[in-house]
Structure 1
Amino acid sequence: MTTETENSKKRRRDAAKRALEEAAHRRQEEIEAQLPPEKGGQDGPEPTRYGDWEKKGIVTDF
């Protein structure tokens, strides 16, 4: 009985360790995915979504 309890505790510890490693990996990916703010870009909604290719008389093409 003792070995079963020890085995289940070891499995839980291993699973917890994997979960913590996965969470750390996800956090690192989120940090890397954060893009710097765009300078001089479109104001408002995404222009490609609505077909707005002009701002103040200047036409832009991506």
Structure 2
Amino acid sequence: MSKNIDKIKEKQKINAKKALKEAADRKNKLTKTKLPKELDGRDGPEPTRFNDWEKNGITSDF
């Protein structure tokens, strides 16, 4: 029975290493993608980050 447990643990280690490698590859792929430059965007701080949107002098909080 201990042989079966050892085999299972070894498979788990292999699968865990594979999953970590795949996650690292996905993360690297996301960080390498270039976003296009924003045209005609809002001036100042990002409104969705600071929960405050201003347009034509009118401020909206959300």
Q: TM-score, normalised by structure 1?
A: 0.57
Percent pairwise identity: 29
Identify the residue that residue 31 of structure 2 maps to in structure 1. 31
Identify the residue that residue 5 of structure 1 maps to in structure 2. 5
More strand by share: 2
Q: Residue 17 in 1 paired to residue 17 in 2? A: yes
Q: TM-score, normalised by structure 2?
A: 0.57
Mind listing any 5+ residue stretches in structure 1 that lack a counterpart?
45-62
Mind listing any 5+ residue stretches in structure 2 that lack a counterpart?
43-62
RMSD: 1.9
Distance in 2 between residues matched to 1:14 and 1:20, nearest whole Å: 10
Q: When the two structures are aligned, how many residues end up with a matched partner? A: 42
Identify the residue that residue 60 of structure 2 maps to in structure 1. none
